[in-house]
Amino acid sequence: MRGRITALWAALCLLLTGCGRMPYPREMEDMALLRTMGVDREGGVLALTVSTGPRARGLQGDQESALVLSARGESLSAAALSLQGLSDSYVFFGYVDQLLLGEELAREDVRPVLDWFARDAELGLGARVWVVRGSAREAVESGGDRGVDSRLTTLRADGEMGVASLSRTAGEVYADLLEQGTAYLPALTVSGQEAGSLKDGGYAVFKDGALAGYLEGEEALGLELLAGQSSVHMLEERTGEETVSLRVTASSAACRLTGEGRLSLTCRVAVHLEEYRHPLTASQLEDLQNRVKTREEGRVRAALDRLRDWKADCLGLGPRAGLTAPQVWSGLQENWDEAFAAMEPEVEVRVELHP
Amino acid sequence: MFQRPTDPPHPRQEPRIPQPLSLENLEQTFEGCADFNKRQVYLHGDPGRQVTVCYIGGMARTERINDYVFRPLAQDPMLASAPESQVFDLLEKGAIYAQKAERETELDQVALAIIDGSCALFFPGRQDALVVPVATEEKRSVGEPENEPSLKGARDSFVESLRTNTSLVRRRLRAPELKVKEHIVGRQSLTPVDVVYLAGIADPDTVARLEQKLDAMDIDGVEAAGNLEEYLVEASRTPFPLMAYTQRPDRFCQGLLEGRVGLIADGIPLGWLIPGTIDQFFKTGQDRAYHWMTASALSLIRYLCALVTLLLPGLYIALVTFHPEAIPVKLALSIVSAKQEVPFSTIFEVLIMLLAFEVVQEAGLRLPSPIGATVSILGGLVVGNAAVDAHIVSPAVLIAVAIAGVAGYTMPSQDFGNALRLWRFLLAILASLGGLLGLVLGCAALIYHLAGLETFGVPYLAPFTTGVQVRRGHPTLFRLPLPRMKWRDGAVHTQNRRNQA
């Protein structure tokens, strides 16, 4: 009897949780499993362009070309709903793990898109995000029959291995925007219509949800150094009569606030001597170390100057440094953007040269 | 109101044969029994002194009757010369060359004794009989345990003979504290069932409850293991076994040393260990033979396999049909490519494949082993492969069902594996109805069910939750080095918990 009463209570509690409606079953082979989504602002409305990877057809292994769909709507949900009508299979957003944001949308505000990813039942904040310097639709369509997802997967893997720009998830970006009002995202450029047409385009920096500008070349490397995740890159330096190649393999960064409220940054860089003809003397090595230090310091300063111009501490240097001096930080926190723009941070780069 | 007529009660008659003891009544009792034999013998050839020997052919051993009974009766001159009134006493006290000769005065006792293989000696004019055991010992010899093979350990196995089985136990546990109490179960079978335990270690309350239940059993016969299991524990409520059994005497003795109470029935080559808690069904006879790390790893694998066999088909249905977003992308694409052109829904596919797996297994078991193996190969490989090639079944489903099936075979207890198979179906059906929600609810129901089971006053989940403030003893999922296993399981209520210095 007690068991029955317990079972009745359990059933009642279950219904109160809102689980009274059972989920609806769907066969996976009747779904278009979307991998990539591009979002643009086109003529005042939002445009969604989605793409699957190459779709398998049966056990024979022959493949159907990637499905690319595009729809417009006043809202993202409306555009997504329109997509359902364009395909002969159920359009499933659960596998969208690559989000491309068009430049026009980025200049306006990307937060609604990230918010949609956070709230939607199928989408998730684990998707990797890129800003396309141009149209996201163009980037999605550049994959052709094979789709763009394999190229983006490669870029993501390269970023994790340190041979391409750092990739970021929607969750990381949205958290940065909500907590510090600024964030950075890897940017892509589209060059042509063949596979591999998406190239690294530096980093896009956002301030209050809108694109503030791009960091490219030396500035982009400086941002990576400040983030403590420098991508592997080569340096060529002349020493004596010969040119030697150096590989920057790792970096880390630490920041602190001085008692006067000044930001102090220390970057450590590991550099390996890669190509040289003759063994280098101690003085040559020291000379090389100083030159690398000067170059890397220049990169860091270039990135910092640009970020200060935009009043965008997208790396969260202030909050991180504030942990070392909470009292000083409490005085700066209110107007950190202004303080960041006005101050001249101390930058120190320490180079470990491994011959 | 109309009431269905009920069957009249079925009272047990005591004594079974109410007539007084006499040769005529015995012959009447065994009337129509072709195997009943009697022979009149003159004592040392004296026609004035005769005795009638009764026995049942096949139950009594011919050589023993000839040597132990007929030879002294026919050749011992003392039997002819002694006063007639003393002949019975002389035979009872040693003139017959048998280990035992008992005087019986009731027909019931004599009839049962000759059924057991004794012979009964009747003297004219006397109201008693002399019963001499000359039973045949024709039985299967002690062989290897087929269901519990041993790689590193004893290779003997219980047989159908009760006394052989108790001797196998006694040879391992020579302590006089090993008690063997016999009960007769079954109106028609009159099967001896022995309760075996170590006095001073086993819980006397459990022993008493077991004996009480055995005495209360009023059935026709004990022909199968279920005849005991379903009467001694509340087996009808659950498919899970509540009494652990083994073919191996070494494992049986280990159970006795842990404080459990053993049960052995004549005619069934098994020994039961009571109470049967869930951990017993994951243990093997080899657990103590292997290195503790190996044994622990294998134990963990068995528990993991129990989860796999139980949950995998349901999980596959839930993920593929209801929650595809939870599947890694590459796996999802593989599943989609494998599922293309298959005309059935995933739910139907999985349930049908589970059913087909059971059919193939059952067919393989019922047939003689050479044909059974052929059926398994034909059913499993050939038909399975053809079904995949013809796009009738998706290979992913085939793999999921096969993994679940094979994982189930790692269960040391066939009964426990069978219960998991039943629940596997139920969980797959629940997953078909409600996805992961249905599966989780099914799992909750299973835990609720298991938590409600009890065997001889001990919770079924006792190793994981005793339900009382009793120290458990040792970890269940893995095995410690033996020198560190100093305690018997607390939930079994042993009298003496320490098992080593």
Q: Which residues of B touch A57 (CB under 8 A)?
A: 337, 340
What is the number of CB-based contacts under 8 A between chain A and chain B? 82
What is the rounded CA–CA span in Å between residue B265 and residue B262?
Answer: 10
User: Are the C-beta atoms of residues A201 and A187 closer than 8 Å to each other?
Assistant: yes
User: Are the C-beta atoms of residues A90 and A25 closer than 8 Å to each other?
Assistant: no
Confidence at residue B468, expressed as pLDDT on a 0 to 100 scale: 59
Tokens of B50: 């005769």
Helix B329-339 and helix B395-408, axial crossing angle in degrees, nearest 10:
110
Instruction: Name the average pLDDT for chain B.
Output: 88
ipTM of the complex: 0.72
* Yes or no, beta carbons of A3 and B438 under 8 Å apart: no
Which of A55, A57, A122 lies closest to B325 in CB terms?
Answer: A122
* Yes or no, beta carbons of A31 and B336 under 8 Å apart: yes
B408 by Cβ neighbours in 10 Å (0-12 / 13-18 / 19+) ranks as buried
Mean pLDDT of A181-192: 89
The fraction of chain B above a pLDDT of 70, given in percent, is 96
* Yes or no, beta carbons of A14 and B323 under 8 Å apart: no
pLDDT band at B260 (very low <50, low <70, confident <90, very high): very high
Domains and their CATH numbers in chain A: 29-215 (no CATH), 219-354 (3.30.300.210)
Sequence-ordered list of residues with C-beta below 8 angstroms from that of A322, at least 6 positions apart, any chain: A257, A328, A329, A330, A332, A333
User: Are the C-beta atoms of residues B53 and B65 closer than 8 Å to each other?
Assistant: yes
Nearest CA in chain B to A33: B333
* Yes or no, beta carbons of B324 and A94 under 8 Å apart: yes
B466 by Cβ neighbours in 10 Å (0-12 / 13-18 / 19+) ranks as buried
* Yes or no, beta carbons of A26 and B333 under 8 Å apart: no
Confidence at residue B78, expressed as pLDDT on a 0 to 100 scale: 85
pLDDT band at A195 (very low <50, low <70, confident <90, very high): low
* Yes or no, beta carbons of B339 and A14 under 8 Å apart: no
The CB density around residue A226, as the number of other CB atoms within 10 Å, is 24
pLDDT band at B418 (very low <50, low <70, confident <90, very high): very high
pLDDT tens digit sequence for A281-332: 888 888 888 888 998 899 999 999 999 999 999 999 999 899 988 888 888 8
Q: How far is CA B361 from the centre of its chain?
A: 22
Mean pLDDT of B247-252: 93
Confidence at residue B33, expressed as pLDDT on a 0 to 100 scale: 93
| Shortest CA gap B281–chain A (Å) | 26
Mean pLDDT of B408-435: 93
User: Are the C-beta atoms of residues A128 and A99 closer than 8 Å to each other?
Assistant: yes
| B residues 314-333 lying closer than 8 A (beta carbon) to A | 320-325, 329, 332-333
| Shortest CA gap B438–chain A (Å) | 9
A111-115, A261-265, B302-306, B441-445, range with the lowest pLDDT:
A261-265
Nearest CA in chain A to B438: A22
Sequence-ordered list of residues with C-beta below 8 angstroms from that of B488, at least 6 positions apart, any chain: B201, B258, B259, B473, B494, B496, B497, B498, B499
Sequence-ordered list of residues with C-beta below 8 angstroms from that of B273, at least 6 positions apart, any chain: B243, B244, B245, B246, B252, B255, B256, B260, B261, B262, B263, B280
Residue B123 pLDDT greater than 70, yes or no: yes
Written as one string, the DSSP assignment of A162-176 is TSSPPPEEHHHHHHH
Residue A34 DSSP SS3: strand
- Using the Cβ of B400 and the Cβ atoms of chain A, whether some distance falls under 8 Å is answered with no
Confidence at residue A355, expressed as pLDDT on a 0 to 100 scale: 78
| Shortest CA gap A111–chain B (Å) | 24
Residue A272 pLDDT greater than 80, yes or no: yes
Residue A246 pLDDT greater than 80, yes or no: yes
pLDDT band at A194 (very low <50, low <70, confident <90, very high): low
pLDDT tens digit sequence for A76-130: 999 999 988 888 888 889 889 899 999 999 999 999 999 999 998 888 899 999 9
Confidence at residue A57, expressed as pLDDT on a 0 to 100 scale: 55
Task: Give the residue, B313 or B384, on which the prediction is more confident.
Answer: B313
pLDDT tens digit sequence for B457-481: 888 998 787 665 666 677 888 888 9
Q: Which of A22, A31, A36, A59 would you mutate first to test chain B, the one with the most B CBs within 10 A?
A: A59
One-letter identity of residue A211: L
Residue ranges of domains in chain B: 23-133, 162-276, 292-455
Residue B147 pLDDT greater than 90, yes or no: no
Residue A19 pLDDT greater than 70, yes or no: no
Residue A270 pLDDT greater than 60, yes or no: yes
Helices assigned H by DSSP within B186-321: 204-216, 225-232, 249-257, 292-317
One-letter identity of residue B22: S
Which of A3, A25, A33 lies closest to B322 in CB terms?
Answer: A25
- Using the Cβ of A14 and the Cβ atoms of chain B, whether some distance falls under 8 Å is answered with yes
The fraction of chain B above a pLDDT of 90, given in percent, is 48
pLDDT band at A21 (very low <50, low <70, confident <90, very high): low
What is the rounded CA–CA span in Å between residue B372 and residue B476?
Answer: 36
Confidence at residue A11, expressed as pLDDT on a 0 to 100 scale: 72
Mean pLDDT of B149-166: 89
* Yes or no, beta carbons of B433 and A122 under 8 Å apart: no
pLDDT band at B172 (very low <50, low <70, confident <90, very high): very high
